[in-house]
A and B are shown apart, each in its own frame.
Chain A
């Protein structure tokens, strides 16, 4: 099986001599559930940006679902994100004042689907994350755990090849966090490749594969 994510000798440096990534190799197969774990400053957020094609590496190659990121234009990278990558952020990034369906449907806006179809898929995704009874609720009417579930629904509504979760439990209490992790495990069991970035070794320990990072290197 070909890897969904493939990093070869990837480095990322910033002006002023900061090396966020130093020659990182990583290969993630389809259907894996993997944790990238490390303290803050270890380069794991840069990893997420590079894998999510939000940022380009300084040197080295990044392949996502077979596409060499270096050879894609900004427009093509946008299309890649729209169709192959789903993001879940620590701070949810939900639009206040818009209900759960609208927030999830917004995630499909750039996939070129008509409004009715976006809403249909959004409802299906919300049912899938266990929020079938919260469709019309706005973010302020939802608990933190529920909000993160809405964000997960938005990330998976477009059926991406890979789901990137950046500290998905960082803003949640233990019980809600556990719920979100269970949800990610369920999605993975159903076939989605899931990559979780966390500083929490306890959470990372519950996942089948861990990639520990320190000072920009995989250790």
Chain B
């Protein structure tokens, strides 16, 4: 006697079976897939936007270089403001791996006005900094308009404005500092590694001494060192700048500060991801609900299929594959939606659009897992239905 063994359903047939259930009620399928789509879109967009901003930072840092160190006087043990010794800059330049070093000095008590008609108390919060001629190369600053100081202009009453200072003062040919007019010869672009320059009015070292009574102390020394030696250089800079009291020197790496600022956003990203997860969960419940209703409505179809020779396992697989297809539909839509949101947002921020492949794979994987979980219970119910009972439902 011939052995009775149920035939296996081919994967293509299984796919067709799952798709048939969805196509017979397209609106319901789309609506319940939408829940999943929103969850996945939210998660992909959150990851995408944070990756895009990271990529933008990486790109910026690659252009700016991460090998800059900033040396500034800290505080004495008594809590007073410390000063750097006058030979700090030349000592730092002598350290082996240091490629370049330059300094600025703060010129105190010199508010800057756009004209002599401005009341004295409206200072605008701008500071005057005495700058050396090699400042631009060392901090990676660029001139937006006009020219940088040269050996000649550095001795005359001429200033270059930081980007923020230029915005505050407006487009003026001259500024008024401490009873004297200074011509504005240039404006800088924003300097990401040295944001303090953005609000500064930069003047030549000699001019500051002769016109503004500048004491000649360095308030900030910017140093570029060989990238591989940067930690070692950072460790010795304090002692080099001020051998008598190295603890009175602050040494920092501005690129680290930029990275840290972005890392602070990570907890916010995690919160948004959690929110996306909740949306995904709600979407999964929607799929489960749709499948439960589908099983109830299609009892006679289940009975018919059982009479045609479907095993319990085949009925179960049919409904699970329908649920998987449904949530995969939502997942794919969600990935596309998340991609679109990321692209639009990154576009407005002038970032590169970056979505890590793991986010897409993770999104689709989560989708499949949710589909399987949501579909399993209704599918088991469908498979447990006795054929006679299912047929009687018609």
Contacts and interface: CB of A to CB of B under 8 A. Distances in A.
A55 B9 contact: no
A120 interface: no
Contact of A79 (B4, B306, B386, B388): B4
B307 interface: yes
B308 A80 contact: no
Interface of A is mostly: mixed
Given A95-B301, A97-B24, A81 B388 contact: no
Contacts of A91: 300, 394
Nearest to B387: A54
Interface string B304-319: 1111111111100000
Contacts of A97: 23-24
Contacts of A136: none
A81 B307 contact: yes
Interface in B112-142: none
A93 B394 contact: yes
Chain A: interface size category: 35 or more
Nearest to A72: B4
B5 interface: yes
A112 B312 CA distance: 16
A143 interface: no
A55 B307 CA distance: 11
A67 B4 contact: yes
A15 interface: no
Contacts of B20: 95, 98
17 contacts: A54-B306, A54-B388, A54-B391, A66-B1, A75-B313, A78-B306, A79-B4, A79-B309, A81-B307, A82-B308, A91-B394, A93-B301, A109-B310, A110-B309, A110-B311, A111-B7, A115-B13
Interface of B: 1, 4-10, 12-13, 16-17, 20, 23-24, 300-301, 303-314, 386-388, 391, 394
Interface of A: 49, 52, 54-55, 66-67, 72, 74-76, 78-83, 85, 87, 89, 91, 93, 95-98, 106-107, 109-115, 154
* 8 pairs of A and B residues whose beta carbons are closest in the complex: A82-B309, A112-B7, A110-B309, A78-B311, A79-B4, A79-B6, A76-B4, A81-B309
